[in-house]
Structures are given as C-alpha cells and as structure tokens.
Structure 1
C-alpha cells in the first residue's frame, strides 16, 4: 500500500469514507478486503468496517493488489489525481506522459529515457509514490480507455482494443475481465444510450470535479480562435490536433456535469493522447477546492470566488503552438493575434479534412516555422526574429514545453530566447505547461483587475500574491474576469468570436 503520508492521515481517509466525501475521489482509492473491490471514497454502495479498508494512491495500485473496480461508482473513471496537475517533479511528469500514451507507443523504457532516468530508478520512484510502476499504470489507463469506448461507442471490439493501446485482442479480453470482472461484450450489454461512432467520430463524456465554471474557459478559447485551426460552432469549441498518428479534430461542449467530447482521429491509437490533451486544455483534472480556499482567504478576492466558484485555467492543446502564439500576441489584440496565427497556418500548416465544420489546417509545427521566409510573417521585424528563434529552439529541443517538461528548467530555457520576456514566460508557464502558480504580474488584464480591487501593482501586487501560492494562475482568472472582455464569457452563438474579431480589427 502506498505511503499514507502521501495520501493523507488514515483517520482522515476513514472519515472521508464514512462521510462519502467526493473531494477525495481521484486523490485516493478505497479497497475492501472482504469483497475484493476498490471504490471511490464517496461510493454510495459501500461502507466497510475499518479493518477491511485499504487505501491506494492510484487505481493501478489497487488493481496490482488484486482488487476489481466497483461497478457502481466506477473509480477508474474519476477525474485524474490533481497532484499530477500542479507538481513538476519526475513522478508528476511521468504521470502526465503516461496519460499521453507514451508507454503504449514507446514502452516503459522509452518513458524513462524521456525523463533522463533508468527504468529501475523510475519504477522505484513511481512505486513509492503511487504504488505501481509505469507498466501497471499504463495497463490501468488502457483498461479505463477501453471501458469508456465500450460503454460510449459502437466501435467493434477489435477497434476498441486497438484504440485503447492493447497489443492483442487476447490481452484486451484478459485485462477487461481482470479489472471489471466481466467480458467486454458483457460490459457493453449493460450499457444504455451509447453514442454512435458514425462517420469516424467518437463521442465521449469527460468528467471533472465540481464546482466547474466554464465561462472563462470557453470564452478564452473562442475569442482567441485562429480561423481554420479553431472555431466556435453550435455551442462547442472545435480545433485541430497534432497527434502521434496524424491530424485529429476535437469538439468540446459543456454539458450537465461533464464535457461532451467528439473526436476524429486518423489513427485510433491516438484516442488516449487526444483525450489527455482535451482534459489538459480545459483543466479538467484540477481540484477546485484547493485554489478556492486559498484565494477566498484574501478579502479582496473572496467575493469573486463566492460569485463564480470553480474557475479553471484555459490552456492550449499543443504547448509549442501556444508559446509561438504568445509571442505573436505580444502588444497586439487577441483578435489580431488570432488573425496572424490563421495566416501562418494557411501558409505553413498541414491540411486537415473536416466533414463537420470549417477547420482546415493544423497550426504549423516549430520545424516548419523555423524555416519560414521572414517576408511571410505579418508582424514587426523584432517579433519576426523572436518567432523564428523560438520555433528553432522548440524544433531542436533546446526549449522543452511538453507534458514531460520540468517547469523551472523550461522557464530558464524560454528566457534565453531573444525577445521572450517575463510576461511571455509566465503566460507560457500558465497556459502551455499548466503551472498553477504562474503569475504574469505585468499583464494588462491582471493590472486592471488588481487596480479595480485595490490590490496595487508592481512590487505591491507581487507581495500580495505570495499568499495565493501555489494557485496564482487561478487568481489570474478572477482578476481577468473583473472586466467585460469577451474572453470572460461563453459565446452566445457561432459568430460571437468573429464579431469581436471584426470590432478589434476595425
């Protein structure tokens, strides 16, 4: 069993089970020795005696110990542990890469190499932290993806196995039976209201922890959408994705208690990576309670937190893309930056077929932009040089921003790129890497929001923000929301982002 110091005090965990406290779901998993089943702490179907309770830091650890997933509370489908969202140590980076499907594509050895560790070292660290090694963690993820596809789509079982990352149908059948105590066919037979995977699209529901405030998430994504790469259509944010097996498309729409995701992928094995990127883009694995408690302790922020609890940090699916677009957006409006990004995609981006809307291109990868003709970059000369320098650094690996990146190292690497200043570094840390403590104190929206609340500016604001750590990126969302900018509200209809763009360009 994983160290209880990591999970929390055992009495607290037992109290959480007794009170069916949903705040612990995803943080810790309850296994019951008398039934051989593991559950969420909030599971309504179980209230075991204390001597029968065992606690694990991951579903994989519970499965490794021989427990099967509860059929009622579905613990494997709970939002991911928030620990991997706000930490930058090697275990957190490993968990993010496993979530991207790296072990399925490159094996546990490939994961270790990406992180600069030997496989033995990495296994030892992960077992100490979450009770399972990389292979077991990847196996648990494959089982969860398989269950999601079995229950939510009409894909043939062979395609489900392939999409979930299994090497064979036999392995798929064995793992599903071991983890869920029934065959894939039996699991599907118990499911009602499956979405059809017609026309190559896969419809899924992405879970999150309550409370959840979608306005600033979808407002930012829609208002900054680069036409052809992103769009707001029919109440959904749609965008192209650069995936390991080829281009994909994701459509994300807020639903009652979940995010409705509709995915198109060139290779079914990319479903895992596509889901991971969508979850990261909408900050769906966050624990909203921790930042809310920290920010509500500040008398100036408390009314804003009470008014709209559960704000999340809007991110981009591709960290490299956001970094380049952050440079493009220096000292220009959101709409103008989106227009420039669209022009670059039209010239240098890979074509994408979109049968459902108006998406046409992937945003150019760094290697393509690094070779771009400066004459084709519609921006001032100094910014052209910064874009080209950053693209080259991303292409050759001297700047690493992906899910396996070390945040302090990435900040230092970014700062070495000519033309990349503190604002850009902090914006990239917040919206590309997902650092919850990123704080662009010099951002105009932050300055205006802080002034409206009487929080001061410059050193005074930096000093005030120390009490918000490590959740300053969430404070930024509340400061931004003090204005009436379109990024702070969900668009009312398809053309809202286009209207705002036209106003800004006029």
Structure 2
C-alpha cells in the first residue's frame, strides 16, 4: 500500500487491526515501532513515521514494542496479490532462502543481479534483502528464546545467525533487551516438552471461517501424511533441513501451532508454509467486500465471512494431487494417492524405524506423519507403484523431471505466469490443472476454474450461468479475488 500519512494515521488512531502487517508505526519520541492496532495511546502526529516493513523501522533505529509485538503481526496481504519481483522476493525471504543461500542465491532464483534486487526492495520495503532476513531472524530467535529451553548458542545458529555475538547484538537492538532478559520475562510460560518442539501463535486478520478450512483439508487428507482430529489439523512436513510435523488449531484471533522439527533451522520456513497453507495473510474484509457486491454471492458472504483459499506447504505435492485428481472425484483421487503413498519405500524418506531419533516427529498415537515424497523420490518409484493409466503416470514423471531440472518452479517465489506457461507445455497438463495449481500451489488470488464441474454446479445453485464461457465472463466482476469465488462456488455445490 502507499504510505499515505493521513490514511495510516487514521488507522492507528482507530486501532484498526486490519492494517496490521500492511505498515508499521514508528514513534520517534519513544524510539519504538508498533503495529497499527497497538493499544497504547495514539502518538502525536509530529512524533510519527510510517514504515513499509519491520526491517525499515529497525533500520531507522527503532525497537519493537513489547506490548503489541509488531514482529508477530500477520504478513502483508500485498505479497499474496502481487506477482512481481518484489512480491516473489518477499515470499522467498519468508521461506528462508537468504538464510540458506544468501543474497546471491535469492537473486539467482529471481533472475536479477544482487544490486538491482537490493535497489528494488529498498525502494518499496525501505530495506534490502539482508535487513529483511535479519528482521526475520530476530523474530525466530525471540520465539525460540521464549518457547524453548535451548541454550542461547543453539538458538543463535538455529535462527540463522552467523555468530553468537551477532545474535546478541541483534536481539538487543531489536527488542532493547538481552536474550536472557527475554527468557526471564517469559514468566510462567514454560517450554513445551520434547526436543525440537515449539508452540506459537499464528496471527491472522479476522474473520476466519475455520470450519470451511478444516472441512476442505479433512475431505482431502492423505493417511500417513495429514489428518484432521478434534478441530486440529495435523500433517507431516518436508523441510529444507529435515523432517517436521505440525498441529494447527484455529482459535479466536490466532491459530495455535505446535511444531516438532528435526532441525530448528527449519522454524522460519515451517511457519511461512503453515501460514501459506491456511491463507493467514489474506485480507478477508477486502475479499468479502468485492464478492458481496454481487447479489448472487452476497447471502453466502454474509452467512460465512472470512472464507480462505487452502493453499499448499509443498508445490510439487499439490501438482501431483492435481494431476491425479483430473476428471475424477475427490474420493477417487484420494484413494489413488493413498495407494501411491503406501507403495513407496518408506526408508527412502526417513530411514528404517529403528534409526528414527527422538527429534523426529510423530503424532500422539505413535504413528509417523511424514511429508509427501519429493520429485526425486517419485522418479525412483517403480511403475507398479502408481496404479493409474500409463498416460497419467507419464505426466507425473514428466512433471517430476521438470521440477528436478528446474524447468518448472513450484516454490512460493516462482514466476506465476511463466510457471503456468511451462506447466501447460508438459504432456497431460491442461488449463484446469494449471489454473488449480496457480490457485493452490502458486498462491494466485485471482485464478478461476470456469470449466470445473463443481464450480459450474455451484454457479447453477446460486442462479448464475453454468456454461463455462459465459461463467468465465461473468466472473470478471470478482477480480482480483476469483480464487475466493471459486472456493465459495465449490461450497455452494
């Protein structure tokens, strides 16, 4: 959003939580920065500056407010909407690419020079890629300090810092407290039991229709990978440094997350992927406002505000699901996927059971929830493991090869238009599959599946045209939120 002073100041004066994450309020008289909804007294205009990122506020010498925790605010919904280089860069930084590959690795992924990338981020975010990654490391460090019993040296390297000194200096600068003081301030909150276990809250902008999310995920849950139980979504994760498992429980104003990680360096990417899965950085008021302007959708929006688009923790996994789900029911696709997962050789992903360590994730009943197999693992499976027509098996293998060799980038920072173009060039992938992946794997908020049978049935149920061409033209009024309209039409069906 543009940093219009009057608009931002009105949001701060009204403590409007819808703007949390959109911008940050710097108060020069106190030397702190806050989220717009901070309950503290509204600062005087002459003492206020607005920043597009926490990193920009930190770069101006301000520390994070201890009352409103601005570093824990939802991410800006702008990065979901935007498909340009800055939007892609922000998604990759959140996924930990700078920590793993440095700024050169980030620039290479985006196809720009480091200098040009720094210039673009600086112009829009008020900070370069290193500063943005540093702000994320500080937040990761605070979470580990306050929710685990790890030593400070372990936390420093798990959060991505190059040295303990760098960790200490950054925490003092950002939070105006030493790491030991942050831990002492934890008070009664004790670290959860179990090595590698972290509990935290994932904020979102209300409203959130949690039941719709859980219903969607439960219907498609794959045994051994994910399940919905007692209002909580559980799933295994494949992360950059090892295995993980997460339990996500929606609550009022936040989603409670319990993460079990084999390697704590995966905390930031795990959090980013969980947020993406549940679409927690969306602006539901803006989405619902556009869709409710259509009389056909207005009753559904009023009855079920805050519908989100369930996305993905792994783009390749979603692509496999989409291909297997072509022209078959959800139940049939789930059966085929379950057979595929059952056929794979478990030790290729996690090793034999006797080699598993206490740091590896398991659910409360002792069963392992494992991440979906990667592209390399799928290529290694024998033909008999697929249990599907030769053509579809060939499509899956072609996709896997394209992902392995880098021809297709299904990561959150991939170029959406280019990825869709390359997907369509693969045998067996048509507009429906590419559109479905744009919506769920690539995070496009404006994808529309006008040829989808359930979408057409939902449109007919609401009195809308169900002819694909006519419906597609009608859907233009829902831009730029047609992915959300697709979810609502599925529910109507």
1:476 corresponds to 2:475: no
Partner of 2:169: 174
1:24-57 superposed Cα distances (whole Å, 9 cap, x missing partner): 1110111111111111122121311112111110
1:131 corresponds to 2:123: no
Q: Structure 1's 464 and 195: CA in aligned 2 closer, same or farther, altered over 3 A?
A: farther
Whose RCO is larger (CA < 8 A, sep 6+)? 1
TM-score under structure 1 length normalisation: 0.91
Partner of 1:502: none
1:54-453 matches, cutoff 5 A: 54-200=49-195, 201-348=197-344, 350-351=349-350, 354-356=361-363, 357=365, 358-453=367-462
Classify the secondary structure of the residue corresponding to 2:194. Answer: helix
- Per the TM alignment, residue 80 of structure 1 is displaced from its structure 2 partner at its CA by 0.7
Instruction: Report the more deviating stretch, 52-61 or 244-253.
Output: 244-253
- Per the TM alignment, residue 447 of structure 1 is displaced from its structure 2 partner at its CA by 0.8
- Per the TM alignment, residue 197 of structure 1 is displaced from its structure 2 partner at its CA by 3.2
Q: Structure 1's 73 and 354: CA in aligned 2 closer, same or farther, altered over 3 A?
A: closer
TM-score under structure 2 length normalisation: 0.93
Partner of 2:355: none
Pairwise CA RMSD: 1.6
Distance 1:346 1:375 in 2: 12
Aligned length: 478
Distance 1:354 1:16 in 2: 42
- Per the TM alignment, residue 390 of structure 1 is displaced from its structure 2 partner at its CA by 1.5
- Correspondent of 1:459 among 427, 445, 469: 469
1:76-109 superposed Cα distances (whole Å, 9 cap, x missing partner): 1101111111111101111111101111111112
Distance 1:21 1:361 in 2: 40
- Per the TM alignment, residue 219 of structure 1 is displaced from its structure 2 partner at its CA by 1.4
- Per the TM alignment, residue 188 of structure 1 is displaced from its structure 2 partner at its CA by 2.0
Classify the secondary structure of the residue corresponding to 2:237. Answer: strand
1:8-31 superposed Cα distances (whole Å, 9 cap, x missing partner): 422111221222222211101111
Classify the secondary structure of the residue corresponding to 2:313. Answer: coil
- Per the TM alignment, residue 373 of structure 1 is displaced from its structure 2 partner at its CA by 2.7
Partner of 1:486: none
Distance 1:192 1:473 in 2: 43
Q: Is the 8 A contact 1:328 1:341 kept in 2?
A: yes
Structure 1 gaps of 5+ residues are: 1-5, 484-506
- Per the TM alignment, residue 214 of structure 1 is displaced from its structure 2 partner at its CA by 1.0
Q: Structure 1's 299 and 195: CA in aligned 2 closer, same or farther, altered over 3 A?
A: farther
Distance 1:185 1:178 in 2: 14
Q: Structure 1's 361 and 12: CA in aligned 2 closer, same or farther, altered over 3 A?
A: closer
Partner of 2:356: none
- Per the TM alignment, residue 340 of structure 1 is displaced from its structure 2 partner at its CA by 2.1
1:312-345 superposed Cα distances (whole Å, 9 cap, x missing partner): 1001210011001110111222223223222322
Q: Structure 1's 399 and 355: CA in aligned 2 closer, same or farther, altered over 3 A?
A: closer
Instruction: Report the more deviating stretch, 346-355 or 102-111.
Output: 346-355
Instruction: Report the more deviating stretch, 434-443 or 130-139.
Output: 434-443
Classify the secondary structure of the residue corresponding to 1:231. Answer: strand
